Structure 1
Amino acid sequence: MLMEKVTEILVEASAEAVEPRFRALAAGEVMEKAPGEIVTVADRDAERIITRRLRDLLPVPVVGEEAVAADPDLARALVDEPAAWLVDPVDGTRNFVAGQPTYAVMASLVRKGQAVAAWIWQPCTGTAYTAELGAGAWRNGERLAHEKVTTPPESWTGILKTRYFAPPMSHHLLANARALGPLDPGRGAAGIEYPLVATGERDFLLYWRTLPWDHAPGSLLITESGGRSARFDGSPYLPEPPGGTDGLLVASDPEQWETLRELLLKGV
């Protein structure tokens, strides 16, 4: 019941506060919340709707991206509280502002520091991805599951997000990636990128900055579909407040993850 109810909340909040403003943002409805970071009225209105309805469903703290921008201490609930909701009201805000359909609405439920349920709603395709710890991952109700990867590394394709890496490390990663297949330039939204791996359209993702609202939903989707999402030292991804551990490698198969770490992080 919980899985269906949260999906319903995201779909309805998107229909009410996000989709009517897609390619229809008025002057003054896009603001800078921090240097280089933008927010829209759609982000803020959708987060308010989702926050209220999630609290009605389960009365625990809600760690929303926009609320944390105003009060960073709110993110402490992820590690200090027994349970907390995570909300990204518009993942891929720059795409949304540019009129590109690659954006998503996301939420996850964190218990004892671990994501136990996740939801990704892609409004422009009408696609809902959900995952529940120990129970599996789904796309519009259809179970997602990976078979063991048997193709050679030179055929593997993925997304290498080097924007936040220091230049020397970025250069190493790009040089090492020549041993793999062609790189995908990325979609500018974790809620679009993670499902590409969960459905087998891409083999891997590599990130540096790992804000919890961006990565908790997708990481659970990957692990519950048979893949692996882990820090560079091999420890599993756990959502934590911004400013914590960075660096994350995601792959569609655990053995593939090990090979990718060896190839991509060689000399880094």
Structure 2
Amino acid sequence: MEKVAEILAEVSAEVVEPRFRALADGEVMEKAPGDLVTIADREAEVIISRRLRELLPVPVVGEEAVAADPSLARALVEEPAVWLVDPVDGTSNFVAGRPDFAVMASLVRAGQAVAAWIWQPMSQTAYSAELGAGAWRDGHRLVRRPTDDAPEKWRGTLKSRYLDPAEHHRMLTSARVFGQVSGGLRSAGMEYPLIAEGEQEFILYWRTLPWDHAPGSLLITESGGVSARLSGSPYRPDPPGGEDGLLVAADPAVWEHTREILLGR
């Protein structure tokens, strides 16, 4: 666990952080309309992938590699073990000079995340989780305090960019019962820890790319929370294009009540 955390922090210091607010012309590209990638994303993924394979020689499913060859993501369902890598989670923030970005990795065995790491470079904060062993921030175990029963005191995030407009409007209307609802930080690696740390009670995601959600989902479940599809099935890091919708919450009661409020069921 410690070695992977060291890899993420070292690669971040080597190729990501020096380019923060210092990207040169030609170092920011579009890999799809509205979807940015930088030289830092690509270089960091190559180095992290190589070093992870030195620890455990299994396939690496990296965000930028899959952008170039989508078939690589099939390893998540075809291989017994896979590394997942998100070299810069929150690239749009990174490009804009906003500090809300992270470097993430997870280890998936038999289709389930069994270990996860999130490095937040601007605060030099490390989160990790291991299936059945707990969740940690900088070596201190994370255990959420009990949540208040009143939804009007809950804080949450609705990631509604990919929702149907009518459904988006209906959910926003339903969400008025909550104390505070935001649109998020544009980085899963910054958002998931807010629940584990007790700063928010829920997040609703719609599109769920595996490199974005495997690390945070394990962090949440190992700190006592829930990360599950809207059907109620536990989150699993499937290849892109699978089931949409993911509700993450501080505990099972919050998850059930939030789903009832947002979805009417």
TM-score (norm 1): 0.98
Is the partner of 2:61 in helix, strand or coil?
strand
Give per-residue Cα distances to partners, 1:37-63, cap 9 Å, x unaligned: 110000000000000000000000000
Distance of 1:191 and 1:150 partners within structure 2: 25
Aligned to 2:152: 154
Question: Which is worse superposed, 135-144 or 149-158?
Answer: 149-158
Aligned to 1:12: 10
Distance of 2:10 and 2:180 partners within structure 1: 38
Aligned to 2:182: 184
Give per-residue Cα distances to partners, 1:207-247, cap 9 Å, x unaligned: 10000000000000000000000000100000010000110
Is the partner of 2:179 in helix, strand or coil?
coil
Name the aligned partner's letter for residue 210 of structure 1. Answer: T
Q: Are 2:220 and 1:222 equivalent residues in the alignment?
A: yes
Aligned to 2:135: 137
Aligned with residue 51 of structure 1, among 44, 49, 52: 49
Aligned to 2:29: 31
Query: Is the 2:45–2:86 contact (alpha carbons within 8 Å) kept by the matching residues of 1?
Result: yes
Give per-residue Cα distances to partners, 1:146-190, cap 9 Å, x unaligned: 233233011101110110001111111101101111212310100
Stretches of structure 1 lacking an aligned partner (at least 5 in a row)? none
Name the aligned partner's letter for residue 56 of structure 1. Answer: E
RMSD: 0.8
| Aligned residues between the structures | 265
- After superposition, residues 87-102 of structure 1 pair within 5 angstroms as 87-102=85-100
Distance of 1:188 and 1:76 partners within structure 2: 26
Aligned to 1:76: 74
- After superposition, residues 99-248 of structure 1 pair within 5 angstroms as 99-248=97-246
Distance of 1:157 and 1:90 partners within structure 2: 26
Q: CA shift at 1:113, angstroms? A: 0.1
Structure 1 segments, 4+ long, off by >2 Å, are none
Question: Which is worse superposed, 179-188 or 167-176?
Answer: 179-188
Aligned to 1:66: 64
Is the partner of 1:101 in helix, strand or coil?
coil
Q: CA shift at 1:7, angstroms? A: 0.2
Name the aligned partner's letter for residue 131 of structure 2. Answer: L
Distance of 2:145 and 2:204 partners within structure 1: 21
Aligned to 1:262: 260
Distance of 2:213 and 2:64 partners within structure 1: 16
Stretches of structure 2 lacking an aligned partner (at least 5 in a row)? none
Is the partner of 2:235 in helix, strand or coil?
coil
Distance of 1:182 and 1:157 partners within structure 2: 5
Q: CA shift at 1:76, angstroms? A: 0.4
TM-score (norm 2): 0.99
Distance of 2:182 and 2:143 partners within structure 1: 22
Aligned to 1:21: 19
